[in-house]
Amino acid sequence: MALTTDTLTIWMNNFANKVEENKQHLSDLDTPIGDGDHGFNMDRGMKAVEQKLATKPADLTTGFKTIAMALISTVGGASGPLYGTAFLEMAKKSTSTEDIGELLDAALAGIQMRGGAKPGDKTMVDVWSTLVPDVKAGNLTEDKIKESVEATKDMVAKKGRASYLGERSKGHIDPGSESSSYLFKAMLETEGL
């Protein structure tokens, strides 16, 4: 499916709403295996994104760049640069394609390049690497999104703050995977995507 500046804005505003509604939940997930700030970080970032997108971007590439810059400058922590990189890579990719699957593929590659996490390391990469192929195949569902987040629960963290806990990180859902699930859910709900 081809993304436009209009569907990008609808998608991002929906993502921002989900983050806002669940910011306490996201920070609660980050409390036992992190520093309890993930929801507040993401809510600050997505509010900035919403504000920037209130002015219609000239084109898709400008839109992605604007989102990336807003996230990099406001989210902070580990997730800020990672989400920021995801959107920067989509900005670059959008000069040659508007296909959502291709764009998300580039975003995932960027997250992995930046953070060095592999699937199974209990990071947002787990959700992205599970769901991007589903987006490309056109068979992403709510259930698959939920399962990909649940799967992080029994993993031992190898990257980020949760990795300091080693085996004790088991039994907790990864907060960045939960926030990423909202991005995919918001995409699924965007008509024309």
Binding site for ligand ADP (CB under 6 A): 30, 34-35, 37-38, 41, 77-79, 82, 111, 115-117, 123-125, 159-161, 174-177
DSSP 41-89: HHHHHHHHHHHHHTSPPSSHHHHHHHHHHHHHHHT-TTHHHHHHHHHHH
- Here the tokens at position 177 are 């995977």
Instruction: Count, in order, helices (H) and strands (E) of the chain.
Output: 9, 0
Measured CA to CA, the distance from residue 37 to residue 114 in angstroms comes to 21
Please select the residue that binds Mg ion; options are 23, 38, 122, 159, rule is CB under 5 A: 38
In angstroms, what is the minimal distance from the CB of 25 to ligand ADP?
13
CA 175 to each of CA 63, 93, 99, 123: distance values in angstroms, whole numbers, following the listed order = 26, 27, 28, 8
Please select the residue that binds Mg ion; options are 23, 34, 44, 87, rule is CB under 5 A: 34
Give whichever of 18 and 159 is closer to ligand ADP, judged by the CB atom: 159
Give whichever of 34 and 84 is closer to Mg ion, judged by the CB atom: 34
- Would you give the DSSP letter of residue 157? P
Please select the residue that binds Mg ion; options are 37, 43, 50, 98, rule is CB under 5 A: 37
Which entry of ligand ADP, Mg ion, none binds 115, CB below 5 to 8 A by partner kind? Answer: ligand ADP
Q: Which stretch binds Mg ion (CB under 5 A): 51-59, 70-78, 83-91, 165-173?
A: 70-78
Measured CA to CA, the distance from residue 67 to residue 5 in angstroms comes to 12
24 makes contact with Mg ion (CB under 5 A) = no
81 makes contact with Mg ion (CB under 5 A) = no
38 touches 79 (CB < 8 A) = yes
Which entry of Mg ion, ligand ADP, none binds 176, CB below 5 to 8 A by partner kind? Answer: ligand ADP
Which entry of ligand ADP, Mg ion, none binds 78, CB below 5 to 8 A by partner kind? Answer: ligand ADP
CB-count exposure of residue 123 (10 Å: 0-12, 13-18, 19+): buried
Residues that bind Mg ion (CB under 5 A): 30, 34-35, 37-38, 77
